[in-house]
Structures are given as structure tokens and as C-alpha cells.
Amino acid sequence: MPTNYRKRRRPHGPSKSELRAARNERAGLQKERADTLSQRFPQVGRIELDLRLEAPIGGATLDHVQRVIDAEGPLDLQVSCPSSCHNGRFSLLETVEDLLNSSKEKFQGMATCQMASYADPRTPCGTKLFYQISIQYKGE
């Protein structure tokens, strides 16, 4: 019977310390990824974005979305270009930082996708992003 006893005692799956290490690793990854609004800008309660993407030629609206970023939500200020440039990206992070530095609440602006166009790689994609930013500060 001693052989049976030994078999039952053999641990199945990862040990407790291995599980703990995996859990810590996951928590660490999450911490790095989740840059929430309140972590980055503790004075801000909420950011509202109105984003309209317009075709470079003809001016057709390609996409029009509202995005709300709550204090505990991830701070996502990237907008993907919907045109055929495939990986064009707009970032409103610097604009939002400027607004916060000057305590502004509203801003309207326009950005142009600078990624090489699919049709002609020598010219930029040119898709336009019209954006409105509304910032609600805490304690108002």
C-alpha cells in the first residue's frame, strides 16, 4: 500500500506558489495597461469626445462617434483612421494635456491623417478628424 499512498500525495497542476506567482504577474500587467483617467489626471471627473471623421475628397462622413471617459475608465484618446491607410491614428492626448494645463473646458479642432495613402503612398491619407472635447473637472 505505500505506493498508493505516494500516488495520492502527488500534487496535481501547479503548486500554490506557482499560482501565486501567476496571479501577481497578471496583476502587474493589468496595472501597467490600465492608465485610467483619474490615475493620469486626478483633477478630472469626466471627458466627453465628439469625433467625426471625414473623407479627404468629397467630405463624406466616414464615422461619427461620441466617447465618454469616466474617472475610473481607461484613458483612451486614440482614434483609428477608418480609411484605407489601414493604420493611421490620431491622438488627442497632447491636446487634452494642453487643455488641462490651461484649465479649459471645451475645445474644437481638426486633425489630418498623415499616414501614407493606400492609393498613392507618396501622399498622405488626408482623412480629417473633427473633434470636440468637453472636460468636467472634479468639484464643480
Residue tagged 493604420 (cell numbers) = 87
Q: Segment near Zn ion (CB under 5 A), from 13-21, 60-68, 86-94, 129-137?
A: 86-94
For Zn ion, the binding residue among 79, 81, 99, 133 (CB under 5 A) is 81
**Cβ 53 vs Cβ 128: under 8 Å:** yes
Rounded distance between C-alpha atoms, residue 52 and residue 99, angstroms: 20
For Zn ion, the binding residue among 92, 115, 129, 135 (CB under 5 A) is 115
Q: What ranges make up the beta strands (E) of the chain?
A: 44-54, 61-70, 78-80, 89-91, 106-112, 128-137
Q: Segment near Zn ion (CB under 5 A), from 5-13, 15-23, 33-41, 126-134?
A: 126-134
Q: Segment near Zn ion (CB under 5 A), from 8-16, 49-57, 64-72, 85-93?
A: 85-93
Where on the chain is the footprint of Zn ion (CB under 5 A)? 81, 83, 85, 88, 113, 115, 125, 127
